Amino acid sequence: MGSILRVNTRTHVITSADNEADPLLAGRGLTSTIVCKEVIPTCEALGRFNKLVIAPALLAGSTAVNANRVSIGAKSPLTGGIKESNVGGSLATALSSHGMNALVIEGVPEDSSWWVLEISDEGIRFVPADDLAGLGNYATVERIHSRYGDEVAVMCIGPAGEMGMFAATIAVTDMERRPSRHAGRGGLGAVMGSKRLKAIVVRRGSRKPPQPKRPELFRNLVGEWARKLAEEKRSLALYGNAQIVDTAAAVGALPTRNFRSGRFEHASEINGAAMARIQKVRGGRMGHRCSPGCVIRCSNVYHGPDGNYLTSGLEYESIGMLGSNLSIGNLDDIAGIERKCDDYGLDTIEIGAAIGVAMEAGIVSFGDVPGVLDLLDQIAKGTILGRVLGNGAAITGKVLGVRRVPVVKGQSLASFDPRAMKGTGVTYATSPMGADHTAGNAMPGRRGLDPQQPDVLPHLPKGQVELSRDLQIMAAILDCYMCIYVGYVRETVEKLAGLLSAYLGTQVTPDDLVNLGRRILKVERDFNVAAGIAPGADRLPEFFYTEPLEPDGYVFDVPDNEIDRFYDF
């Protein structure tokens, strides 16, 4: 049993208690449980009653593969509902080395000073950090590492989080100490900013990593799974998830020019093969691990035209939303834009959607790279236009009078057009997280919990609600234990049940995990309903139902009455 640590940012009182929750609850399961139990659903998301809950995955720090994830949860200022966003990097291992199952940040301070929360074997303390205010994430972590040494893991916010913008992220350092991994969605950086925490710095503790109850079985299961993943996911190590550009383009689902088209004329210049080709020449790399114990290695280190480091973890969703969605067909341009987002602490998905809406309004033209870079600088400076964009696509659409705004429950869609990938559309509509592909992405070829079920064709409405439900259940399970890249498939649930049984020394069945996934979705849904988000909000924006997607002509036609039965389980 680990501990739950509570830190009050108003009083600076720190308390610790044993974690009495169900031992299967970790990561998202634990953040959502704590938020549901302790946060008043109707509270002001940037006010004193909201809590920022940080919980490593259950097997973080063990020898399990792809297990060093950390979930961050709170009430979202963007959606007004519950939020969990998980991230790799070095933080999960560091937190688990202190035996911490969750760190709960409470209250808001009465003055406007900035603080760093420092966690080490010597204890936990607040350190004044006004000197870090206004700095981007890269300068922030550089200064922190020069102060604390290279071994610390850091989570921090950039200017967007300091200003309380709803598209603000929380950055987490990767294994090379770069703030390139982000708990991106839902404006959690603004929640951290409201608590006046610029950064949390964790020095590795001396506590022994968690030990499985049946070590030999655990070791064998881990080894077998690692070998299988490394072989099966070789494409991800070679080409990163940027190859999803090809997947989305192949079925006409690649958002282009603010979701007007599903096919982009420069798709082959921004895909995984293009990135691998460019980086081979420049000394960057594909097959990068973002966190310890990852055998899939889907991340990358992107060097710019000058051969120097520009960014890392340049992912498909950023490429789609900042690239094709803005009609930008050059990877260097996209990488430069993404680097600024990482530095300012902005969700690349939300900002890509917001700028797409601004382009539709004529603020800058589609394809205007200097114009986009200027808009990002305006966000960091906090100009009026910058504040509009930094608060996301929904607010941008309202202010600029645009009606084609790709959001659900206030949060932007990710880089999959729901007219061509209808199961993902159902997930956007129904997830308690708002439009979030990671909550259950129905990529072509995916099946539900029954591997024998017939293929669900992404452009047809049949079977999409059932598929989305199964994928959302599996995502909720995986978010407690592992990176979702291990695969949303029945086999994963079975392997995970075996691994957890060996770890905990008690029998955990696949059905136990499926029931856990269902329970998590239900408590999150209940929080949203109590927060005032009515079930009627489970709809895509109207234009997806009425405007045929170019060039294939698809509309979103999953019947409303089927979507309304999503939570009948």
Partner 1 sequence: MRVKVTLHGHLQELLIGNSAANRTAGATRDSFVTLAEASTVEDLLFYLGIHKNHVGFVALNGAMTVGDACLQNGDEVSIFPVLAGG
- Judged by the rule CB under 8 A, the positions of this chain that interact with partner 1 are 232-236, 238-239, 241, 243-244, 246-247, 250-252, 272, 296, 298, 316-317, 437, 441, 443-445, 454-455, 457-459, 483-488, 552
From residue 440, alpha-carbon distances to 281, 358, 447, 488 in Å are 36, 28, 11, 8
The one-character DSSP state at 454 is P
Residue 552 CB, nearest distance to partner 1 (Å)?
7
> CA-to-CA distance for 263 and 425, rounded, in angstroms?
17
Pairing of strands 407-408, 309-312: unpaired
Residue 84 vs 162, nearer CB to partner 1: 84
What residues have CB less than 8 Å from 412, skipping those under 6 apart?
Answer: 321, 349, 350, 352, 353, 354, 392, 393, 394, 406, 435
Residue 317 CB, nearest distance to partner 1 (Å)?
8
From residue 362, alpha-carbon distances to 78, 355, 401, 463 in Å are 24, 10, 11, 39
Longest Cα separation, the chain: 62
Residue 529 CB, nearest distance to partner 1 (Å)?
29
> CA-to-CA distance for 544 and 196, rounded, in angstroms?
39
Find the length of the chain.
569
Residue 189 vs 272, nearer CB to partner 1: 272
Residue 459 CB, nearest distance to partner 1 (Å)?
6
Residue 248 vs 497, nearer CB to partner 1: 248
> CA-to-CA distance for 393 and 187, rounded, in angstroms?
12
Residue 18 vs 455, nearer CB to partner 1: 455
Residue 444 CB, nearest distance to partner 1 (Å)?
4
> CA-to-CA distance for 235 and 256, rounded, in angstroms?
25
Residue 359 CB, nearest distance to partner 1 (Å)?
25
Residue 238 vs 361, nearer CB to partner 1: 238
Map residue 346 onto helix, strand or coil.
Answer: strand
Residue 9 vs 438, nearer CB to partner 1: 438
Residue 112 vs 452, nearer CB to partner 1: 452
Residue 414 CB, nearest distance to partner 1 (Å)?
9
Residue 290 CB, nearest distance to partner 1 (Å)?
12
Residue 157 vs 319, nearer CB to partner 1: 319
Helix ranges (DSSP H) in 272-390: 272-282, 316-322, 331-344, 348-360, 369-381, 384-390
> CA-to-CA distance for 346 and 246, rounded, in angstroms?
26
Residue 419 CB, nearest distance to partner 1 (Å)?
12
Can you read off the two tokens belonging to residue 151? 């071994």
Residue 438 CB, nearest distance to partner 1 (Å)?
8
Residue 416 vs 566, nearer CB to partner 1: 416
Closest-CA residue to 414 (of 401, 428, 399, 403): 428
Residue 158 vs 458, nearer CB to partner 1: 458
Q: What's the one-letter identity of residue 204?
A: R
Residue 190 vs 298, nearer CB to partner 1: 298
What residues have CB less than 8 Å from 103, skipping those under 6 apart?
Answer: 4, 5, 7, 53, 54, 55, 95, 119, 200
Residue 82 CB, nearest distance to partner 1 (Å)?
22
Residue with tokens 């808009």: 375
Residue 103 vs 245, nearer CB to partner 1: 245
Residue with tokens 């099946």: 447
Query: Would you say the C-alpha torsion 531, 532, 536, 540 has a positive or negative sign?
Result: negative
Closest-CA residue to 290 (of 249, 257, 241): 241
Residue 270 vs 380, nearer CB to partner 1: 270
Residue 279 CB, nearest distance to partner 1 (Å)?
16
Could you give the strand order of the β-sheet that contains 3-8, starting from the edge strand earlier in sequence?
Answer: 14-18, 3-8, 100-106, 52-56, 70-75, 82-87
Residue 451 CB, nearest distance to partner 1 (Å)?
12
Q: Are 359 and 365 in contact (CB under 8 A)?
A: yes
